[in-house]
Amino acid sequence: MIRIRPHRLFNLVETPSYEERLVKIVLPDQRAPILLDTAVLLSLAKLVQPNAYFEFGTYLGVQLLNIIANLAPSARAYTLDLDEKSAGKAEQHENDRPLTLEHLQSQDKLAFRHSSYESQITRLFGNSNTFDFSPFARRMDSFRMLSDNHKGCIAWHDYGNRIYPHLKTYLDELSETRDIFFVEESMVAFYLQNDGHLSAALKR
Ligand SMILES: C[S@@+](CC[C@H](N)C(=O)[O-])C[C@H]1O[C@@H](n2cnc3c(N)ncnc32)[C@H](O)[C@@H]1O
């Protein structure tokens, strides 16, 4: 795992003016994502400029709203979460179950519902362990979905979160064969595809 200080990533986002560094973020409340993690994702979005974004775990939709509000209007986002049926069958960590229940109870209150970004978002329902991802193959930024000819990025959340030690073990193993970066003080780890220039700059 390649550990980097947050400013190493932020400094790679070069803009001609501070105005072009402005981003739009939902002011956090007690259930919103951590601001540093959001800043990391938005920096990656500025560097990669994805036209398609896939999120595993919608929860209350706040992070998706943060992302889509800062992508081009032509960008499309897909977000997958459990529905009542798949949630009933899913094996979950005891800490995850309350989040799923909150998600299920918030269907009409998801952050992006009735927002001006809703038309850019497609909701998907099911268990990520059994979901059919084939329509997204090579169009997105998870290893099987990564596009061949466009810059791409996979970001994982909860790296270093003691509640999920297996995630750290998994990513540490994966990082033996690929360049995976962990942004210190955040819980975000990421991989960049088709962008040797950025990866090399981060490793310097
Ligand atoms: C920590 S929350 C995601 C946070 C969210 N991206 C945000 O805005 O901050 C985790 C979400 O993943 C969902 N989830 C957990 N296990 C899942 C699975 N196997 N398949 C799909 N979604 C799952 C939960 O229902 C929950 O809404």
Distance (Å) from CA 99 to ligand 1 centroid: 7
Nearest residue by C-alpha to atom 13 in ligand 1: 57
Q: Which pLDDT belongs to residue 155?
A: 97
Q: Give 56-74 as a DSSP string.
A: E--TTSHHHHHHHTTS-TT
Q: How confident is the model at residue 139 (pLDDT cuts 50, 70, 90)?
A: low
pTM of the full predicted structure?
0.93
- The burial of 189, by beta-carbon neighbours within 10 Å (0-12 exposed, 13-18 middle, 19 or more buried), is given as buried
To test ligand 1's pocket by mutation, which of 36, 99, 112 has the most ligand atoms within 8 angstroms of CB?
A: 99
Rounded to whole angstroms, the maximal C-alpha distance in the chain is: 51
Q: Which pLDDT belongs to residue 13?
A: 96
Mean pLDDT to the nearest integer, 192-200: 85
Distance (Å) from CA 58 to ligand 1 centroid: 5
Q: How far is it, in rounded angstroms, from Cα 72 to Cα 14?
A: 18
User: Among the atoms of ligand 1, which is closest to the Cα of residue 102?
Assistant: 27
Pocket lined around ligand 1, Cβ cut-off 6 Å: 33, 55, 57-60, 62-63, 80-82, 90, 92, 96, 99-100, 103, 127-129
Q: Which has more pLDDT, 141 or 91?
A: 91
